[in-house]
Amino acid sequence: MAVSYKKATYATLLLFILLGLGYLKMAGDIVVNRTDTMGPHYFPTLLGIALIVLCLISWIQTARKQEDGEVRLSNLKFILWSIVVSVLYFAAWEVFGYFYVITFVYLMILFMMLSDKKTIRVWLFNAVVSLGLLLFIYLIFDKLLSIRL
Amino acid sequence: MEIFSPINLLAIFFGTLVGIFIGALPGLGATIAVILLLPITFNMPPLAAILMLLAAFQGAEYGGSISAIVLGIPGTAAAAPTVLDGNALAKKVSPGKAFGYSLSASVIGGIAGGLLLFTAEPIAMFALRFSDPEFFLIGILGILTITSLGSKDNIKSMISAVLGLMAGTVGIDMFTGVQRFTWNRLELADGFSLIALLVGMYAFTEIFVMISEDLRKRYHFNAKGLRSAITFKEFRETFKFTGVGSIIGVILGIVPGVGASASSWLSYTAARKMSKKQEEFGKGNPEGIVAPEAANNATVGGSLLPLMSLGIPGSPAMAVIMGAFIIHGVRPGPNLFTNNTNLVYGIFYGFLFTTIAMYLVGKLVTPLFSRALLVKVPLLAPAVLLVSIVGVYADSKLTFELWVALIAGIVGLVMRLLDFSIPAFFLAFVLSPILEESLRRTLLISDGSYAIFLQRPFSVALLVLIVIVLAAPYAFKAIKLRRLRKQQTAT
């Protein structure tokens, strides 16, 4: 996947400007004492303004550049699927628990998704690696550090 | 004597082992090594925790040379110059010879950095004369240094820093107890988790980048002659260049944002200029290995100095180590020397031990870890992802932080692709509470007047430094343009 560097920068700066405006609005809503000019809203207000100003400067700098570049991200579908699978994994962990079972499934999905071969041998090898990783996690975190997962 | 306790020695050994392993794997780096170990340190005593992380940092800077030498791919950014002569020497003679030069230089550089730390106390004692106005300006100076000197695009780096400062304001206000930007979520009462953001923006982002590369890529190299070995004569002949690299690394390590990568390139360039065998550079000249390798390890000690004496981390990995200090209830900075003298000197002497550990562990495991480079991305990426996820959960035991890490990873990927600065974000995030606290106290003292910054001599000196740092990139650009014009008129 390739996108124009300038367009991607504009989109990101616009998002940051909107973030800055939202942040300023929320900072303005923090009222402790109407006479306190340097209260909990003061530093955030400075930061919100700084963000918007810097984004506008960056926008102008980007617009003034003659050449445009490309932002390339190969294997985008694998990255997106990794994110989707991770979202489902976190949700399943939150709702059901059973960390070791769902983590085994998570690892197998990722291993198989990223492997170029999908043979039975590869499945078995990945299953063994998954179990090995889970054993490592169990020994270090559960047994050694007493962190229940 | 506390340094010799079993837990401290084990922490140093384990940290070194993990650091060398992670550093050897292309793309992961010292910061990830330190991040992955951070959750393990929660239940450890402070000295052991910090020594483990420092050992990992040192180990990773050496480990980066392993794949640089055998594959011609730097394991860390700072090992990039090592590729030029390290890989060539590995092919000409053997990888073991190149490892020998790299390991010995890394140890000398590490010792140089460690010895520098003993100057931290005088600096800290001087810094005790500072008050809130100066601490605010030191924080600003640290952030501006990293955005001006350590990045491709200054304005985007400043945007990254402001975003980091904003992220640092989430949570309960320290002065009034009011909740800010928490959306009434209890999980955000203490602010964003440093671990979740670090793991997200470094580890998750790096994993996404790994996945975006060729998944069918296989590394091949000759697995003979991997044991590191040089003779004393060979060590002596290159000692001058090791020394040069160490000095450059130590000096540049002190400056936040410059980092091991810049210091190793500068050392390589300096070594080539000084060498009587310039034509052999790039063809396996040992001088081209020892200079950058000494520099990148010397940077570790150099970047620890401003953290210990002023509370400003000199690099992203040091920002993680600063997090470790805070997690253990210790605030780095000038007061550290009066409040935690034993811990401070334990770190100084322990740091020297980490270089010895790096030598011993490096001699043993380099051949083995070289073979780890044969692990394919489809196996490596999910494994690192899982360890990172468990590390985030181990910090807070809240699945909420996993979501934070994932979102941070996506944001980190976008930032990386568009030349925003993740190190600037983190330095600012870590400094945000200190900056806000010192600014608000300063303005309370001065009744809201900013003129107080011009009324104090140390503040004025810091303001002058800030102006110099802001002007530096434009000055360098102007000098470069003038040189180009002179060359053009000469031709």
Cα separation of B179 and B321, whole Å?
27
pLDDT mean over B191-200: 84
Query: Cα–Cα distance between B103 and B105 in angstroms, integer?
Result: 5
Q: Which residues contact B49 (CB under 8 A, 6 or more apart)?
A: B11, B41, B42, B324, B328
Instruction: With a cut of 60, say whether residue A149 has pLDDT above it.
Output: yes
Instruction: Indicate if the pLDDT at residue B449 is higher than 70.
Output: yes
Cβ contact (<8 Å) for B180 and A40?
yes
Could you say which of A44, A58, A83 has the minimum Cβ distance to residue B169?
A44
User: Chains A and B: how many Cβ contacts under 8 Å?
Assistant: 139
- Mean pLDDT, chain B, whole residue set: 85
With beta carbons less than 8 A apart as the criterion, state whether B172 and B190 touch.
Answer: yes
Element (H, E) at B52: helix B46-70
Inspect the interface and report whether the beta carbons of B169 and A57 lie closer than 8 Å.
Answer: no
Residue B454's H or E segment, with its range, is helix B452-455
Residue carrying the six token digits 């190299």: B221
Question: How many Å lie between the alpha carbon of B418 and the closest alpha carbon of chain A?
Answer: 7
Top residue of B37, B153, B386, B449 to mutate, by most chain A CBs within 10 Å, is B386
The DSSP H or E segment spanning B13 is: helix B6-24
CB B203 within 8 A of CB B182: no
Q: Is B171 on the interface with A (CB under 8 A)?
A: no
- Summarize pLDDT for B288-325 with one digit per residue, the tens: 999 999 999 999 888 888 888 888 887 778 888 888 88
Q: Report chain A's C-alpha Rg in angstroms.
A: 24
CA A45 vs CA A48, B136, B171, B442: distances in Å: 5, 17, 15, 17
Distance (Å, whole) CA B34 – CA B15: 8
Nearest to B351 by CA among B321, B330, B331, B328: B321
Q: Please name which of B397, B438, B372 lies closest in space to residue B28, comparing C-alpha atoms.
A: B372
Task: Return the residue in A7, A47, A106, A144 with the most chain B beta carbons within 10 A, the one to mutate for interface testing.
Answer: A47
B374 pLDDT higher than 80? no
* Distance separating alpha carbons of residues B311 and B432, to the nearest angstrom: 12
Chain center to CA of B289: 20
Q: Could you read off the pLDDT of A121-143 as tens digits, one per residue?
A: 888 999 999 999 999 888 878 88
In angstroms, the CA A52 to CA A19 distance is: 9
Contact yes or no for A79 and B163 at CB 8 A:
no
The residue type at B200: G
B238 Cα to chain A: minimum distance (Å): 42
Predicted TM-score (pTM) of this structure? 0.80
Q: Which residue of chain A is at minimal alpha-carbon distance from B413?
A: A73
By C-alpha distance, which of B6, B7, B14 is closest to B354? B14
The answer for B311, left when phi > 0, alpha when psi is -120 to 50, beta otherwise, is: left
